[in-house]
Structure 1
């Protein structure tokens, strides 16, 4: 059964194609973000582009686009040379395209030109927006405000084990000319491409779980193209670095450019080898400071000992002089005491002699012979001196002693005193 005016799907879509070509006959400059991008082995580039009403807003349009091999190679080289990055997903571009429609494949855009100046400006604006956001949040200099130990021995390294820069870093660090010992630990991460941010953040999260084991974190990109630097103009990576509790060193830049991640790090260096050199030099400075402090301590101790010896010598001299003075004073006192003692002894001896003489005189006066010469007599009986009349009785024979001799007599009568 048929209806009047019926047409096939091919005929309908052919009408759509004709209307599109009629309404959009020329080419147009279009702003869109590359959502997906694949390069065919034949050299053709297939993209999915999206559009938003405001930058960074919700996707409101989506379309397929193609850059044929005849155009893609030259466009990509020119774009890379102008912006510093190759065409890739995640960037916004301004391109000239014609609208194509095929009944089987639908609508697509055929890109013939790309203005790299727009992308460079857009990337710069995005970069500036990230910097302003970090500044407004007050975190831009948080990591640089941390204190890096003088000898960063335990090092967490965020990098790819296959990168030449990582091997250069390890060789320069481990085989340093001073023989310093370091303990680097690799936390594997993707350092270029669309998964860079998620991979680096995941590595930082793993480090944070054992943060007390590390003195410093090193993020090194080495071995990749300088055009891959833009992957580190990421708010997510930069914010994680600002919040990290230990200093972060970066070696992901090159001579002219610096990523946002470099800006928020404790210190940014140009290459992985430069990062290793910085760590070695900081350790050498630490060693020199220790040596300098040791020398200063030795000098201070020697100075203190010399001063103490001088004080001791001075004290010894003063003590010797004082001792001599004391001895001299004591000797003078001793001589003085000896003189006084000698005089006192002589005086005592003189007085003792005088007393002895007086005693001798007294004894001489008391000598019986002397007493008899003075006219006194002694009476004895049978050789015993009679001291009292009561000792005698009538009839006793007594002898009377005189100085010139004796006389014997007999007691006739005893008269006692009343």
Structure 2
């Protein structure tokens, strides 16, 4: 049976998917169902001819533009110091920017707005969406072209403004993480008309240099106008053709630029880039400890397997040794002798019992006189039987002695004790060599090892002489 989800579990899972897929999106539509409760939050619906979307604009997000008099994303100077929240009305065409989330109590998805403004005033937003669609159609955002970012890189190129707070925060955090890395700062403007060309030029320089393992393109937060250098086709194309993986950390958490879509990996802030590139040193120490423990366990297991294998080979070698084979043959001979003796005893006992039964039958059939007459005959038969059994046992004993002699003859070292020798032709490396059975198997100059019943000696062949086919001879001289 498949896993059954609770409604809350499914809703949380859908929330994670939507927020990951749509961290920042612009939506255009007509404002309807506008509501301004006493909490200060604003609720309304954006709709068009085919669909509608619920929008919540929290109070904390509404006052950002009003306090500064400048829209935080577009850089627009608001007229008369009015904030966009006060100008929002039903029936108005509006642009809303924010993240898609799920309102769990109703099980409905909604747009959590960061900015709401009348439609038509955000030319930068429309240009952003147009460029986004064009570059997406060209495949610059495709997952298939994105490269893996190295873990704990040792050489990092950073493209940013050297005077900004972002690079200081990045370097400060990088010093406390990882196993140490070399960082090269490639200065470039990150705001203004000249910024895209400088960023693209530095990307091409890093790619041509081939030194860095990864490029970090970072900048602190700002309005959409301030971040527009990262929303240009020139920077996007330079990132796409860069031979080194590129990561971005531009702006703050809600800021998503065209460069973020093209990057091999996007981080929400410059400090998040340092956290993502280099692991915490405590985690590295813990990983080393875990690897050390795993290595110790693997070594122990390996030694146990080797010990078990050695024990198995020792048992196999003991079973195949000549001494053990002779012991098994001797044990078998003794067992056969015992069984033969038992069979003989049972045979004699059976025959004796049969004779006694026959004698009782004869005594009953013929009476005492006939019994006495046949007693001598029975005794004679008994004596013949005894002699026959003694002959049978003697013959069995002789056969057993013959088997024992043949068993002794199988001893590979027995002929050496009777004066014979075992001759081997030594190999070139001084190994055991091969057995010499005939004289023509040796050549003058060959080294021989002669084993006798009480030791070994080495010899060298002076000459060989042919002999009868059944024998072989070689003349040797002792080597001192």
TM-score (norm 1): 0.49
Higher relative contact order (CA 8 A, sep 6+): 1
Which of structures 1 and 2 has the bigger CA Rg?
Answer: 1
